[in-house]
Amino acid sequence: MTRLLIVGGSDAGISAGLRAREMAPDVETTLIVADAYPNFSICGIPYHISGEVSDWHSLAHRSQGDLEAAGLELLLEHTARRIDATARIVTITDRRGAELALAYDTLIVATGAVPVRPAIAGMGTLGPADGVHLLHTMDDTFALTDRLTNGPAERALIVGAGYIGMEMVEALTVRGLSVTVVEVLPQVLPTVDPELATLVQAELIAKGVEVVTSTAVTEIRQAGRGLHVSGSAGFGRSVDLVLVAVGVRPDTALASAAGATIGVRGALAVDSGMRTNLPGVFAAGDCAHTHHRLLPEPTYLPLGTTAHKQGRVAGENAVGGERTFAGSLGTQVVKIFDLAVARTGLRHQEAAKAGFAPRTVTVVADDHKGYYPGAQPVRVRITGDTRTGQLLGVQMLGAITTGVAKRIDTAAAALFHHMSVEEVSDLDLAYTPPLGSPWDILQASTQAWAGPSPRDRWDQ
């Protein structure tokens, strides 16, 4: 019987195990999970913090019983310590520190990512008990909810204005806290263009959030029952808790020590079948780099959607399949209070860096026919290549009721199939006055890109 060993029990690891069992029901599939929470939605944590998802148990995509019924053996609260790729053995320890050697025929490394710890004075000594939090695991979640419940917790400062930072700004505001968000870059949500980020910042301010940009946090120290946060240009705030959310880095120490090649941004290098350079060893999810459908070289995109897809490919190939990961476009959407902000593909400067000749056009149009009540504007930025006409990227911002999430998916499908900007106008999209227009917002935007446009609507 084939012995498949998987290190990691989140999106990629679980997807890999389930797919392997689908393809080869007799494969002996064992997952090594460092904590007690297999298959929990990390993406759902902000909504449990806010109280919108009241029971943390519901964050599990599947229960432990569901996974075991599917044929997965779960070794919970076990940590993988070493991989011997020649002998095909993984050494693990249980919660008491007892060591065990597990033999495998094929191995999938799905160790994910870990939060970046910026060089802030005090980060090395202060932790959850002091009110300084990271947010990446269920244990992190419990520590933060305990602080919010038992206090002190009236004033919060979030370091980092990316996706998690934005979601947590809303979550803590909903919980009734006074929130300050500090970002080292000149704008919030740095993964979209400044034109959209300015609107996001206005939404935050309208909801009572203090926004501080172009500022680096340099120190966190205890001050009475609370904390004092200092930063560049004389910045200083006294708060009750600090959440550091400045991104993640791939967790590759286990595989790297075994001889796995490191690729883009410190992630594990894999081919299109998710194979590492080690015999019989695959890698998937946030620990691995990824193929981008518009770029010639791999990139690093730690996204749940990518992890699920890569895990499925790795699981199938680990039991003899020949599946290929089709690639990512970095498609993302985030809810920020009453706004939805989304992107897919390349932004203007990313396209230029990759060797394209980009032009970007901004269009503002209603989400549905203006004569039907409730129409609201959606701002769309279309980037295309002026030499070939190829669609390169789309960004959108609108109210959460305007269907931004699904409209960006249409753009992602067009990008996936390397359509031209003009070809998007030929798509046969649904229309009814309460929900859209004969020419969807996306199509109106691509037509503006393709047709004569005032020069001041371009970003050269």
Percent of the chain with pLDDT over 90: 96
pLDDT computed for residue 459 by the predictor = 38
Tell me the helices (H) and strands (E) count for the chain, helix number first.
11, 24
Residues found in the chain: 460
Q: Is the pLDDT of residue 221 over 80?
A: yes
Closest-CA residue to 339 (of 197, 445, 244, 177):
197
pLDDT the model gives residue 400: 97
268 DSSP 8-state letter: B
Topology match between the domains 3-114+249-318 and 332-459: yes
pLDDT of residue 451: 84
* Confidence (pLDDT) at 117: 94
Q: Is residue 456 over pLDDT 50?
A: no
H or E element, residue 20: helix 11-23
pTM of the model: 0.93
Is it the case that residue 458 has pLDDT exceeding 70?
no
CA dihedral 215, 47, 302, 360 (to 10 degrees): -70
Q: pLDDT tens across 245-276, in order?
A: 999 999 999 999 999 999 999 999 999 999 99
What is the dotted CATH code of the domain comprising 332-459? 3.50.50.60
Tell me the C-alpha distance between 219 and 216, whole Å.
9
- C-alpha separations of 367 from 309, 432, 438, 447 in Å: 31, 11, 11, 16
Average of per-residue pLDDT values in the chain:
95
Q: Give yes or no for residue 411 having a pLDDT over 70.
A: yes
For residue 6 the two structure tokens come to 């998987």
pLDDT in tens, 360-379: 999 999 999 999 999 999 99
Domain ranges (residues) in the chain: 3-114+249-318, 128-246, 332-459
pLDDT value for 107: 98
Using alpha carbons, list the distances in angstroms from residue 243 to 26, 53, 240, 300, 351.
45, 20, 10, 24, 33
Architecture of domain 128-246: 3-Layer(bba) Sandwich (3.50)
What residues are paired with 358 via a beta bridge? 385
Selection from 151-155, 215-219, 221-225, 454-458 with the highest mean pLDDT = 215-219
For residue 460, pLDDT over 60 is answered with: no
Helices (DSSP H) in 248-358: which residue ranges? 253-257, 304-318, 348-353
Q: Is the pLDDT of residue 63 over 70?
A: yes
pLDDT at 418 over 90: yes
Q: How high is the pLDDT of residue 457? A: 38
pLDDT of residue 452: 66
**In this structure, which topology does domain 3-114+249-318 adopt according to CATH?**
FAD/NAD(P)-binding domain (3.50.50)
